[in-house]
Amino acid sequence: MTDPQNWQSPTNDGQNRPRYGEQVPPPARPGGDRQPGWGAPSGWAPPPRPGLIPLRPLGFGTLLWAPYQVLRRNPKATFGSALLIQAVVTLVTLVVVGSVTYFALSRVDSAPLAERDAVQAGSWVGIALSALIPIALSLVAGALLQGVIVLEVARATLGDKLRLGQLWRMVGRRLWPLVLWTLLLSAVAIVALGLVAGAVVLFVTLGGAWVALAVILGILGVLLFIAGAAWLGTRLSLVPCLIVLERLGIRRSVRRSWSLTTGYFWRTLGVQMLVAVIINVVSQVVVTPVSVLFSVATSLVDPNASFDAYLPSIVLYVLVLFVSLVLGAVATVVQSATVALIYIDLRMRKEGLDLELARFVESAPGSGATDPYLVGAARTEAPRA
């Protein structure tokens, strides 16, 4: 690659070519005078700061490979955060749900035969309630992780490289709006699926010709749910970016996400779906051979189950769980980074964000430049750098 500071025009031997970061005088007025307000260059030129992506509207290929660059550029803050959060959620799930399940089943086994049905029903309720704890934790953890990756992509575009603790502290200020948004999305999905399932169950209980209608309704309901989820999910996919980077509330984030994706729906959907397909294919390519090889290995080592038959299964489960955690962490980082890059690309195309980013990168330290991602009132109220 050529150094922009040392590059010279082949036609004029480098004469009259501005250096990187140097002010360029406006064109002369008729008569030879410069426009008013033009002063001599200050002589300060910031060094080039390599960022995650070029500061221009992104091509389709860049949107596909740049999310993987996020992992390589700052693995401790991105992959480390994802792996740590997923490991904690998995551990809490195993401890809480596993302990409650063990004691519940033990209680059922020790209950008198006459009371066993009632005890079993109560045990299932207890197990279901215990599952709410890891579900709530996963919602909070997922919102935190998505905010961390969004912020990392935004800062990496400016050439910054933040540590894990810095990212977590900065995202923590916007954590609860992210959690509330995640809860709203989950509630809408549950209600929609509940309505379809309830209608199907109702028609099945009526019997007769209603059963055929229930089958048709179930198929159409699932297809409509998938189409609606893809449509709404794409139009509202930028909400977490807006909550974190522009510091907007949920209502304004929804309206702004809808506005930014207008005219770019299929591009946004296509990029997200293609990245998801790539991740799923790679995950299956890695997980499937591991499961098959270790299943074969345990059968060869202990064909007659001479020692504890549960030990090979436990080893296999732990191995597959570890591989799944690693792949899940990678998938979460890549998918969240994809959404953040789509957000930056759309703002470049529709609002000229690339000019704001370039101006911020080239500004001198202490010059009073504000966060280039802020808009409106948030931009005027933000502290100067």
Map tokens 């509630």 to a residue: 187
pLDDT at 291: 72
Q: Please, where are the H alpha helices in 236-301?
A: 239-245, 250-261, 265-301
Instruction: Look at residue 164 and give its three-state secondary structure.
Output: helix
Q: What is the distance between the alpha carbons of residues 364 and 219, in angstroms, rounded to a whole number?
A: 60
Q: What residue ranges do the domains of the chain occupy?
A: 77-173, 174-262, 264-366
Each residue's pLDDT, cut to its tens digit, for the chain (385 residues) gives: 444 444 443 444 444 444 434 444 444 434 444 343 343 344 444 444 457 888 889 988 888 889 988 888 888 889 999 999 988 888 888 888 888 888 877 877 777 777 777 777 777 888 888 888 888 888 888 889 999 999 999 999 988 888 888 899 999 889 999 999 999 998 998 998 889 888 888 888 887 788 888 888 889 998 999 999 999 999 999 999 999 999 999 999 999 999 999 999 999 999 999 999 998 888 888 878 877 776 676 666 555 555 555 566 667 777 778 888 888 889 999 999 999 999 999 999 999 998 888 888 887 566 667 888 988 766 665 555 5
pLDDT at 22: 44
pTM of the model: 0.78
111 φ/ψ angles, rounded to the nearest 5 degrees:
-75, 150
pLDDT at 272: 93
Angle at 150 between CA 147 and CA 156, to 5 degrees: 135
pLDDT at 375: 83
Q: What is the distance between the alpha carbons of residues 218 and 200, in angstroms, rounded to a whole number?
A: 6
Q: Please, where are the H alpha helices in 55-174?
A: 60-73, 75-110, 116-130, 132-157, 164-172
pLDDT at 312: 63
